[in-house]
Structure 1
Amino acid sequence: MPRRVTRSLKTKPLPQRQGIDPVCLLLPRAGESAEEAAAAQPPRPTETFGAETVLDYLVARFFPHERAPIAARFERGEVVDDDGRQVSAGAPLAGQQIWYYRQLGDERPVPFDMPVLFEDDWVLAIDKPHFLPTTPNGSFVLHTALAKLRVRENNPDLIPIHRLDRLTAGVVLFAKTPEARAPFQTMFQERFVSKVYEAVAAPIERLGEGESIEFSSRITKQHGNLQVSQLTAEAAEAAGLATNSRTRITCLREFSLASGVLPETSSVNPELSFPRGRLAHLRLEPHTGKTHQLRAHLWALSSPIAGDVLYPRVLGYHPDEPLLPLQLLARSVSFEHPVTGEATTITSQRQLKLTQLSA
């Protein structure tokens, strides 16, 4: 059956470049007071860095020690207004909205494959590999699933319906048209989707093969902290707080690694130790979707996921260790299709590496 490609004719003032959208930025107005900026619709930023022109503002805000990269954008005609008209470097700050291409850094290429698991006129589901970000974030912009898929599928309208962490592999859904975004995103926001994950971790005390437990906690995430904060259900109750995260955990089996298949420690990341002793292959069914919920719940049960560089402690930044990706996989999503009404289940075909190295 031939692959389907669905497109919209809607365009931005600047086209996508290599699958990456141009940046939209609302500028302040030179000399405007904070009160005047706050009263504007929409409210404008107030910090002008003492700049009077668009070029000076962008340089002061983004590249204060290197003016040339910003100036070159204007010389190439790559800074435009909402109507696509070129903005000159000397244009005064007047609270206008501009569009431009972001400056790409030297990204580390990520080996990836993204096989299609499901597709119809509205949605595309792929099997995301470990280490590939879903969307541009931080130092990864070009080497992301979204940018690569937009180019591969020749569809600039692709947008993720939900996200997986960069280190997590498995099923990710993308809306194919602007009209498809709302019903699918609402489906996830209203928790009309059943998600199943798998993980390899240390065995959970008193959880035998085939047995399940429910774990609840209160998770909070503070800006700037890599780890979440967590209170067990008992601690939350004692503090008069409600839990906000719940996961059903099932032990599929326990196993040991075959002798000699992994070294003692990573040569890529000296702080990362390879697992030893007994391991558990777990099925995880989150009933809520808090940040790092699965990783935090298993950490709280003294069963951190193998390959985790955040829990139980934050390891220093090192290149990814291909011998031991985070052993967490989004195995499947199940839902009633919001357009067709059909019961739909999409399943990853990937396998967690450590389950394939068992003795």
Structure 2
Amino acid sequence: MKDAREHPASVYRPPDRDGVGASSVALPAGTWTLLIDFLMHHFPAIARDEWLQRMQRGDVLDADGNALTVTSPYRANSKIYYYRNLPTEPRIPFDEVVLYQDAYLVAVDKPHFLPVTPAGRYLQETLLVRLKRKLGIDTLTPMHRIDRDTAGLVLFTIQPSTRNLYQTLFRERTVSKVYEAIAPWRPSLILPTTHRSRLIESEAFMQMQEVEGEPNAETMIELLEVKGELAHYRLHPVSGQKHQLRVHMSSLGIPIVNDRIYPHLYPDEGEHQDYSRPLQLLAKSIRFTDPLSGKLHQFESRQHLQF
């Protein structure tokens, strides 16, 4: 059996540019004559002029890293890479803190409002890209994700050859995660309690919903402190469904303070983000046994909620 740390056969991977990795797309069988014709069909929201500019900059590459041009033929059953390009992004005015780094892992304390990975209108202003630039490590990959609105701990792997070992810890639920939240105080709610439900995507953009059926989400909720109409809670998610903690707190009648998705979905604030009202949810601690060294890791966020 091969050692888990043995490097696989070399596969071409375009270098990052200013911390941003190249995206890829497989070219299916089709009748397109030129590559740009396929790109126009596959990405209808991107104008032809934008693709021309990317090709002129050398931002569209074949599977061997050769630059493709407007006259490049379409080659079915191959693969191309391309670099995304966004207008200058306004800086999200909060900084991440690296809490731990070794040859395989990086543990980071993420601020509210900062996305973990590039998506939509966020590219440079994401935790992953910031860290690649700061640490000079192009192979960084998140072990797990937390919402853009949530603050706290995020773990990254460094070595591609050991990435799956660490990500498997989350898939197999052998990582102990603790969150904290500020939400309304309900004297009639008996705590601690464990809330289980089945979560699926709803028809409303971004929202998850609880439905009848076998539970796929479980959260244990404890009370830490009561102050007036609000309370400080500790949350222990057993599973890791999208928006699980936000949905479960809302379902119990105690939606997390400043939640703009549950129970009511509010419009995206876009460039007019109100940074004075962060979601009061914090990924406070993570604990697990390192699959390589056997060392017990325990990381703690240095942040505190507004209570």
TM-score (norm 1): 0.77
1:326-341 to 2 correspondence within 5 Å?
Answer: 326-341=279-294
Unaligned runs of 5+ in 1: 1-7, 32-50, 257-277
Residues in 1 aligned to 2:129 and 2:42: alpha-carbon distance in whole angstroms: 26
Deviations 1:211-260 (A, max 9, x none): 411111111124763211114xxxx4xxxx2222111111101113xxxx
Q: Does 1:280 align with 2:224?
A: no
What amino acid does structure 1 have at the position aligned with 2:246?
R
1:90/1:302 Cα in 2 relative to 1: closer, same or farther (>3 Å)? same
More strand by percentage: 2
1:311/1:87 Cα in 2 relative to 1: closer, same or farther (>3 Å)? same
Residues in 2 aligned to 1:22 and 1:242: alpha-carbon distance in whole angstroms: 39
Contact 1:192–1:335 (8 Å) recurs in 2: yes
2:62 to 73, 76, 81: 81
Unaligned runs of 5+ in 2: 1-7
3-state SS of paired residue (1:218): strand
2:250 to 299, 310, 317: 299
1:156/1:224 Cα in 2 relative to 1: closer, same or farther (>3 Å)? farther
Residues in 1 aligned to 2:55 and 2:295: alpha-carbon distance in whole angstroms: 50
Q: Which stretch shifts more, 74-83 or 165-174?
A: 74-83
1:97 Cα shift? Answer: 1.5
1:12/1:141 Cα in 2 relative to 1: closer, same or farther (>3 Å)? farther
Q: Which residue of 2 aligns with 1:150?
A: 132
1:57 to 15, 29, 38: 38
3-state SS of paired residue (2:169): helix
Contact 1:170–1:348 (8 Å) recurs in 2: yes
1:30/1:287 Cα in 2 relative to 1: closer, same or farther (>3 Å)? closer
Residues in 1 aligned to 2:188 and 2:132: alpha-carbon distance in whole angstroms: 47
Contact 1:13–1:80 (8 Å) recurs in 2: no
TM-score (norm 2): 0.90
Residues in 2 aligned to 1:64 and 1:113: alpha-carbon distance in whole angstroms: 32
Name which one, 1 or 2, has greater alpha-carbon Rg. Answer: 1
Deviations 1:185-205 (A, max 9, x none): 001100000100000001134
Residues in 2 aligned to 1:293 and 1:326: alpha-carbon distance in whole angstroms: 14
Q: Which residue of 2 aligns with 1:35?
A: none
1:113 to 81, 95, 109: 95
Residues in 1 aligned to 2:45 and 2:296: alpha-carbon distance in whole angstroms: 54
3-state SS of paired residue (1:184): helix
What amino acid does structure 2 have at the position aligned with 1:282?
Y
What amino acid does structure 2 have at the position aligned with 1:219?
L
Contact 1:201–1:280 (8 Å) recurs in 2: yes
1:160/1:13 Cα in 2 relative to 1: closer, same or farther (>3 Å)? closer
What amino acid does structure 2 have at the position aligned with 1:295?
R
Q: Which runs of 4+ in 1 moved over 6 A?
A: none
1:343/1:64 Cα in 2 relative to 1: closer, same or farther (>3 Å)? closer
1:207-356 to 2 correspondence within 5 Å?
Answer: 207=189, 211-222=191-202, 225-231=205-211, 236=212, 241-256=213-228, 278-318=229-269, 319-353=272-306, 355=307
1:144-183 to 2 correspondence within 5 Å?
Answer: 144-183=126-165
Contact 1:63–1:70 (8 Å) recurs in 2: no
What amino acid does structure 1 have at the position aligned with 2:18?
Q
Q: Report how many residues are paired.
A: 296
1:90 to 63, 67, 71: 71
3-state SS of paired residue (1:186): helix
Q: Which residue of 2 aligns with 1:48?
A: none
1:170 Cα shift? Answer: 0.3
1:331/1:64 Cα in 2 relative to 1: closer, same or farther (>3 Å)? closer
Give the fraction of aligned pairs with identical amino acids, expressed as a percent.
36
Give the aligned CA root-mean-square deviation in angstroms. 2.0
Residues in 2 aligned to 1:306 and 1:14: alpha-carbon distance in whole angstroms: 42
1:115 Cα shift? Answer: 1.2
1:102 Cα shift? Answer: 1.4
3-state SS of paired residue (1:341): coil
